[in-house]
Structure formats: structure tokens, C-alpha cells
Structure 1
Amino acid sequence: MAFFIWKDDYSVKVNQLDDQHKRLFTMLDEVYDKMMEFKGGETVASVLSGIVNYTMTHLADEERLMQSYGYPEYATHKLAHDNLKARVQEYLDKEARGERVDLIDVALFLKNWLFSHIAEVDKRYSAYFNSQGLS
């Protein structure tokens, strides 16, 4: 059963980015499923590697579009992305040092970050990109 459900309210009105956001929702569901089946032998890195890699690709794509279209809030938006990357790296570094990392905490952080980032930050570029002919 889908736990993270895409709603049209989340749309940023840019098909490429909406498709990527939808994929991230699907991947969050997959992480949730893995957490429910967690047997204790897996690492945070192994459980989250797919969504972390895809998220980094998505952020890079989003930043390229912002630069290409001269998005005026690019620097602020990129800072939000950089903060996410640093936080994810902190989790991975902590685990690499042999410290316990709670998979549920990581997944909840990613979920909360994604939902609030789309609703509060990504939505700001919607009208700008549309005015530049990107949809």
C-alpha cells in the first residue's frame, strides 16, 4: 500500500520536475517498505542508496534549469539543496564511524524535507519557469 501519495497540489507545473518528484515519492515508499521488513543486517547506506543517488541527480537537474533560465532565487534555493546534502552526508559519516543511525529518523527527515521543500521552496519557481516557456 502506498504510504507517500502524490497529489496534484504538489505540482510545480514543470513536467520534468514533477516526474522526478513523483519518482521520489515512489522511492520513499520503497524505503518505507524496506524499513517495515528491516532485519537488522542492512545499513542506512544500503537502504537509502537509491533514493539518495536519485535525489542528488534531481537536485542537479533542478539547479541546471535554474541556471539556464536565470532563476533569480537560484542562490537561496541551492543553499537549501546544499544543506540537505550536508545532512545526508552526516548520517552516512556517522554510520561509517560505527555509530548507530536510526533508519526511521533518516527516512522521516527525508520525507519531511521533501514535502516541505516542494511546498515551500520549489513552488516558488513554478510561475517563473512557466513565464519562461518551461512547463
Structure 2
Amino acid sequence: MSLIAWDDRFSVGDASVDHEHRELIGLINETYDRLKRPDADITVPDFLGEIYTRISAHFALEEKLMRASRYVHFQEHKADHERLLDEIRDIMDDYEDKRIFDAEQLVQRLGAWFGVHFRTHDARLHRNLG
């Protein structure tokens, strides 16, 4: 079952960024499916680490593109990136400290965040780059 479906409205018009958006959606959907498995509690740290690593790398690419184009909304867009990374780190810390993890909450938060981020920040970026 997919949590997030790709929609052409998510496109920012840069092939590398759009490719990574599709990959991130795929990772979130795969994580959503795998976290329902009986052995999910063993694999939680790997899932969280992979999501964090891939999202961090994607944000670096997107921010490089925004800096190169002197994107006027760069600081606001970057702040939204940092907010998500902070949330993921908090979830990772909570799991490591207390072994508390709500898989459903994680994927719902990621799904909601990406849906809103794609429709607002990334859509505006696309309009400005296009």
C-alpha cells in the first residue's frame, strides 16, 4: 500500500530534484510497508537512518540549486528542510533513548510533510525556476 503517490504537481522542473523526489516517495512508501512486518522493531534504526541520510542529501542538492539561482525564498525553504530533519532526529533520539517508536506516526508525519512541502515550497520553487 502506498502512503504517497507521485503527482506531476510535485515536479520542480529540474530532472535531478524530481528524480530524488520520486525516490524519496518510494522510500517512504517502502518504509510504510516494511514497518508493518513482524520484524520491524529490529529494523527501525536502519529505516530511520536511511530516511535521514537520503533526505539530507536531497535537501543539499535542492539548496545548491536554490543558491545558484539566487532563489528569493531560499531561507524560508531551507528552514522547512531543517524543521523536518530536526523532527527525524528527535524520532531517532526517542527510539534510541527509550525504544519507543510509533511507525504509523512517522510515516503519517513524513507523508503530510512531503505533501505540504511539495505543494507549497517546491511548487513555488518550480514557478521561479521555470
> Do the two structures share a fold, i.e. TM-score over 0.5?
yes
- CA shift, 1:52, in A, is 1.9
- Greater alpha carbon shift after TM alignment, 15-24 vs 31-40: 31-40
Partner of 2:127: 127
Unaligned runs of 5+ in 2: none
Aligned with 1:42: secondary structure?
A: helix
Partner of 2:53: 53
Contact 2:48 2:92 in 1 (8 A): no
Aligned mates of 1:47, 1:76 — CA distance in 2: 28
Contact 2:3 2:111 in 1 (8 A): no
Give the CA RMSD over aligned residues: 1.6
Aligned mates of 1:90, 1:82 — CA distance in 2: 12
Contact 1:10 1:118 in 2 (8 A): yes
Aligned mates of 2:60, 2:67 — CA distance in 1: 10
Aligned mates of 1:40, 1:127 — CA distance in 2: 40
Partner of 2:86: 86
Aligned mates of 1:2, 1:107 — CA distance in 2: 11
Aligned residues: 130
1:1-135 matches, cutoff 5 A: 2-130=2-130
Aligned mates of 2:99, 2:36 — CA distance in 1: 22
Aligned mates of 2:29, 2:41 — CA distance in 1: 20
Q: Tell me which protein shows more helix as a share of its residues.
A: 2
- CA shift, 1:108, in A, is 1.0
Contact 2:9 2:123 in 1 (8 A): no
Runs of 4+ in 1 over 6 A off after TM superposition: none
Contact 2:32 2:103 in 1 (8 A): no
Unaligned runs of 5+ in 1: 131-135
- CA shift, 1:43, in A, is 4.9
Letter in 1 for 2:5: I
Q: Percent identity?
A: 25
Aligned mates of 2:77, 2:2 — CA distance in 1: 29
- CA shift, 1:97, in A, is 1.1
Contact 2:10 2:119 in 1 (8 A): yes
Letter in 2 for 1:16: S
